Chains A and B, each alone.
Chain A
Amino acid sequence: MNVVVCVKQIPDPAAPPALDPGTHNLVRSGKLILDDSDAYGVEMALQLVDAAGGGEVTLVSMAPNGETSGLRTALAMGAAKAILVSDETLAGSDALGTAKVLAAAIRRAEPDLVIAATESTDGYTGTTPVQVAELLGLPSVTFAKKVEVDGQTVKVERQTEAGYDEVTSPLPAVVTVTAGVVEPRYPSFKGIMAAKSKPVDTLTAADLGLDGSQVGVGGARQEIVSVVEAEARSAGEVVVDEGDAHERVIQFLEQLKIL
């Protein structure tokens, strides 16, 4: 079974983030790393391929400046190869633009299953994978907390507020996984050394038959009009327990209509 995992390479969340004052886009000029959210997808894919007894994991990523650091991390975990789409034309892409690029790249790999994270750590619109599915004409199952493949179907336990739904879908399909679906492995030293020589196919938008009117700033249907500071958190209310704290907490929650 062949699985494609969409992996986003993002600025290190530990470093203070910066927005470009002109475009309001996240500054991505420094080194990018594998989004932690996608490490779960990579692990899930590796386990599914293992369970299927054959096949391989291909990574698909769109990132500026030919960035491969994050891909190398996922390759070190055990993915076989990667397709990277990197091109000036793609700057300023919105989620749909990104989805067009990813869909076109995924099509090349002809996978049995596509895995992405539920949402990225930096942009977190949580909209890209379903758009990818739509563009590819594939069913999509989101919020997976458990994934199993059984012949030509994928069985998913889909996280809901109340518990989980059991969903079955024919393959190929797009599945987005939550953190905790599986525990991502650490790359072994051997894996890290091997990652260096695994193939990374670097493509431009044109290679995928896409041009500046479909992707990038030109193709974007979203525009970030303004950015405002998040409101500073107010101090909150301290409840000192004088025997009635539980009642006052309940009262407070009722006020907020949480209860």
Chain B
Amino acid sequence: MFEWSQEQQMVRDAVRRFVEAEIAPHVDALEHGDLPPYDIIRKLYATFGMDAVARDRFERQLARARSRRPGGGPGDRPEEAPPEKEGAGDGGAAAMTLIPIVELCRFCPGIVTAMGVSVGLAAGTIMKRGTPAQMERWGLDLLTFDKIGAWAITEPGSGSDALGGMLATARRDGEEYVLNGNKTFITNGPYADTIVFYAKLDDGSDTPVRDRQVLTFLLDRGMPGLEQSKPFRKMGLHSSPTGELFLSDVRVGRDRLLGETEEERDGGGRESAKDNFVTERAGVAAMALGVIEACLELSVAYARDRMLWGQPIGDRQLIQLKLAKMEVARLNVQNLVFRHIELSAAGKSLTLAEASAMKLYSAQAASEVAMEAVQLFGGNGYMAEYRVEQLARDAKVFQIYAGTDEIQVTHIAKDLLRR
């Protein structure tokens, strides 16, 4: 794959038209926190029939899960399904997910974060490790975006070390659990209807906290003892509400324990958190591509138009160097995204180290390109009106969430040194 196929281009053009007509005019309201992103996301889903596609896919996944374990009693959980082979011809499901991400990020990476966390992380986790009953109860509404999901692992005392340093607890109490703890930096936290919540099992034994089993629970908005904060003020990504969760003695039954068992299949809660790493990191690369494309286009236009000493600034080699580096970044990130799409279409997946390398490079490239775009625009670059200012603030987060740059480095190096 070296370019988008004809169908993929049609998808791209249609989404681009939608973004320019339906989202671009609202970016100010979204960015100033006056307008939560959810209604716009629902409109996007309805317009392109993404909800219908999600529903069809859900039915297939559910049928597969059921056929594997008829009866569906506690402990029931679908086996790792062999990856669906998509065939490159139909564009592949990966491309259909990533193209809207690229297009949205040309204007508003925040929307993608809010959407991706709900559909990719929250629903993704439930569909991968939930029982059929849990898929039906929580998964479907998240996949269609009828409901908003959050995925809560980070705590004030542990981000990069989220699994080891986690302090949130699930204390056994008869057939139930009592949950306590605080989560922070939680995307959609303030508005979530469904929360995928990670906590350490407290079974009364003296296992050091660091080594205790991680369990995953499914919570609903408004449960007694659950408090969802207001959105934080942030450096950027204002279109994605981020907040805190406070749990004090939240009582849940086994029906809310993901997989309805403590038994650690495929590594349990710790692995569950890691399931998402590859998809999430590929998603960030697609987001980076959108930001880079937008910054490059805006910069080329500005370099042509902005006249100084009677010449367009594009005539200056220092400006040309910036444009050339942006183009190099665009080509590289696009190739990485294409590679991921090709692999998925062939039923394969990036290794964790490859996904980390992809994310590390793309996140840094987007940040650098966007900052250089600000520089190229001079004073105008510092003004909100010219858009690169927002994109630069937004791109910075790519180096922090979904694993910081430094954490990606450790994942890549660990893999290299193990060989």
Question: Which residues of A does B touch, CB under 8 Å?
Answer: 69, 72-73, 76, 185-193, 195-196
Residues of B contacting A: mostly? helix
Given A192-B14, A193-B91, decide whether A186 and B48 contact each other with a Cβ distance below 8 A: yes
Determine the residue in chain A with the shortest Cβ distance to B17. A186
Considering residues A73, A186, A189, A190, which has the most beta carbons from chain B within 10 angstroms of its beta carbon?
A189
Determine the residue in chain B with the shortest Cβ distance to A68. B6
Contact check: which of A69, A190, A196 meets B52 at CB < 8 Å? A190
Q: Which residues of the other chain, B, contact A185 by a CB distance below 8 angstroms?
A: 47
A4 and B7 alpha carbons, distance in the complex (Å): 24
Determine the residue in chain A with the shortest Cβ distance to B18. A186
Q: Indicate whether B146 reaches chain A with its CB closer than 8 angstroms.
A: no
Q: Indicate whether B53 reaches chain A with its CB closer than 8 angstroms.
A: yes
30 cross-chain CB contacts under 8 A: A69-B6, A72-B6, A73-B10, A76-B10, A76-B14, A185-B47, A186-B14, A186-B18, A186-B47, A187-B10, A188-B48, A188-B52, A189-B11, A189-B48, A189-B49, A189-B50, A189-B96, A190-B49, A190-B52, A191-B49, A192-B7, A192-B11, A192-B14, A193-B7, A193-B90, A193-B91, A195-B7, A195-B10, A196-B6, A196-B7
A196 and B91 alpha carbons, distance in the complex (Å): 11
Q: Which residues of the other chain, B, contact A188 by a CB distance below 8 angstroms?
A: 47-49, 52
Q: Which residues of the other chain, B, contact A195 by a CB distance below 8 angstroms?
A: 7, 10
Q: Which residues of the other chain, B, contact A189 by a CB distance below 8 angstroms?
A: 11, 48-50, 53, 96
Q: Which residues of the other chain, A, contact B90 by a CB distance below 8 angstroms?
A: 193
| 0/1 interface trace, chain B 38-57, chain A, CB 8 Å (1 if under) | 00000000011110110000
In the assembled complex, the CB of A73 is this many whole angstroms from the nearest CB of chain B, namely 7
In the assembled complex, the CB of A216 is this many whole angstroms from the nearest CB of chain B, namely 29
Considering residues B6, B17, B50, which has the most beta carbons from chain A within 10 angstroms of its beta carbon?
B6
Considering residues A69, A72, A193, which has the most beta carbons from chain B within 10 angstroms of its beta carbon?
A193
Q: Which residues of the other chain, B, contact A196 by a CB distance below 8 angstroms?
A: 6-7
Closest 6 CB pairs of A and B: A188-B49, A192-B10, A186-B47, A189-B48, A186-B14, A188-B48
| Residues of chain B in range 89-116 having any CB-CB distance to chain A below 8 Å | 90-91, 96
Q: Which residues of the other chain, A, contact B91 by a CB distance below 8 angstroms?
A: 193
Q: Which residues of the other chain, A, contact B14 by a CB distance below 8 angstroms?
A: 76, 186-187, 192
Q: Which residues of the other chain, A, contact B6 by a CB distance below 8 angstroms?
A: 69, 72, 196
| 0/1 interface trace, chain B 72-96, chain A, CB 8 Å (1 if under) | 0000000000000000001100001
A195 and B10 alpha carbons, distance in the complex (Å): 10
Q: Is the CB of A72 within 8 A of B47?
A: no
A7 and B29 alpha carbons, distance in the complex (Å): 38
Q: Which residues of the other chain, B, contact A192 by a CB distance below 8 angstroms?
A: 7, 10-11, 14
In the assembled complex, the CB of B305 is this many whole angstroms from the nearest CB of chain A, namely 16
In the assembled complex, the CB of A67 is this many whole angstroms from the nearest CB of chain B, namely 12
Considering residues B17, B49, B91, which has the most beta carbons from chain A within 10 angstroms of its beta carbon?
B49
A195 and B7 alpha carbons, distance in the complex (Å): 9
Q: Which residues of the other chain, A, contact B49 by a CB distance below 8 angstroms?
A: 188-191
Determine the residue in chain A with the shortest Cβ distance to B90. A193
A72-B10, A186-B17, A187-B10 known, 13 other contacts, Cβ within 8 Å: A69-B6, A185-B47, A186-B14, A189-B48, A189-B53, A189-B96, A190-B52, A191-B49, A192-B7, A192-B11, A192-B14, A195-B7, A195-B10
Q: Is the CB of B53 within 8 A of A190?
A: yes
